[in-house]
Amino acid sequence: MAGSKATRSVLVWHVRESWMESFVAGRHHCVIPVNESKDSYGRGLCGRNWPRAQEIPWWRLHEEDIDLVVLQRPGEIELTTRWLGRRPGIDIPAVYVEHNTPRPSAVDSLHPIARRDDIPVIHVTDFNRLMWNNGGAPTRVINHGIADPGYLYTGELPAVATMINEPRRRWRTVGADLLEELSARVPIDVWGIESESLSGTGHIRGKGDVAPPGLLHQVARRRVYLHTARWTSLGTSLIEAMYLGMPVVAVASTMAPLVVPAEAGVVSGDVATLAHALEGFGTDLSAASAAGKAARDFAMTHFALDRFLADWDVVINESCTEKGGSE
């Protein structure tokens, strides 16, 4: 019998590691494609220890008994048809996870699935669902959920921490251009892919791409967390910092104003206000600790992994049942 306790076999590509880490923590069997070149459509597990996930060569996928396809990029629709011999949304149940804010237009961008009513779009924030033109596609929001890394905050170093991947390439989108001005009074340490390229500009120190859990321990030693993104979806790095017990100073864009309550830090569209907040937390460990505890409380309430997995259980089982998936 189909129901909330049914275990499904789900085809899903390894696209965003932080989201994938949470998704594969559920009870469903995840089939992850791998190809010879291990490119973006065949990364496989990348050496990750995910007990409920299985790496399958793309040419063997047609032999697998797949119940549902979780799409994350438009190109995966054609790949599924070719590799499985079944069309997503028609021959096999499918959902499309949209991780990003709309591009190129903030309000007029038509979603790649907008002209279909047989593949639901699962947005990761309410803001994204609001701003994308979803057309006739059914939509739902499943907010991020991550495993609690624990209260690791010490704030012993009067410096700012932030996590930004490829800051030079993504420059204004991720707010990397703001770092020099914001580091005038308090040094900023930046972790992430190619973050070393920022070193030597103002009081900015690029720390490189450090793997967890070491990364989180290093970040938690800094006094305050900075979120500068202008036009990205809500990154799990911000949520992780809140879980650690860090106070937050954030640019007031996309979902940030809705996930950083006033008692947890400062959210503003004024760079001078952000700089003042960083300086204030940098000189007052007591205030920073109090705000960090409020941030952690909010994260634990709104971004719990159990809630994320329960939401996905509902979507997976509804999709399989409605499309006649295995019982």
In this prediction, residue 40 has a pLDDT band, given cuts at 50, 70 and 90, of very high
In this prediction, residue 4 has a pLDDT band, given cuts at 50, 70 and 90, of low
Amino acid identity, position 161: A
In this prediction, residue 322 has a pLDDT band, given cuts at 50, 70 and 90, of confident
Distance CA 267, CA 249 (A): 6
Q: Is the pLDDT of residue 2 over 80?
A: no
Q: Which residue has the tokens 């036009």?
A: 231
Q: Is the pLDDT of residue 134 over 60?
A: yes
The reply to whether omega before 213 is within 30° of 0 (cis) is yes
Tell me the average pLDDT across 161-169: 96
Structure tokens, 85: 């011999």
Distance CA 194, CA 221 (A): 22
Ranges of H-type helices in 140-185: 167-170, 179-182
Cα radius of gyration rounded to whole Å, the chain: 21
Q: Is the pLDDT of residue 327 over 90?
A: no
What domains appear along the chain, each with residue ranges and CATH number?
A: 9-145+305-322 (3.40.50.2000), 157-302 (3.40.50.2000)
- 3-state secondary structure at position 96: strand
Distance CA 203, CA 199 (A): 8
Question: Nearest Cα to 263, choosing from 289, 284, 227?
Answer: 289
Q: Is the pLDDT of residue 158 over 80?
A: yes
Distance CA 182, CA 279 (A): 9
Residue 11's CB: how many other CB atoms inside 10 A? 25
Which pTM was predicted? 0.94
**pLDDT, tens only, 237-292:** 999 999 999 999 999 999 999 999 999 999 999 999 999 999 999 999 999 999 99
Q: Which residues contact 5 (CB under 8 A, 6 or more apart)?
A: none
In this prediction, residue 52 has a pLDDT band, given cuts at 50, 70 and 90, of very high
**pLDDT, tens only, 79-96:** 999 999 999 999 999 999
In this prediction, residue 326 has a pLDDT band, given cuts at 50, 70 and 90, of very low
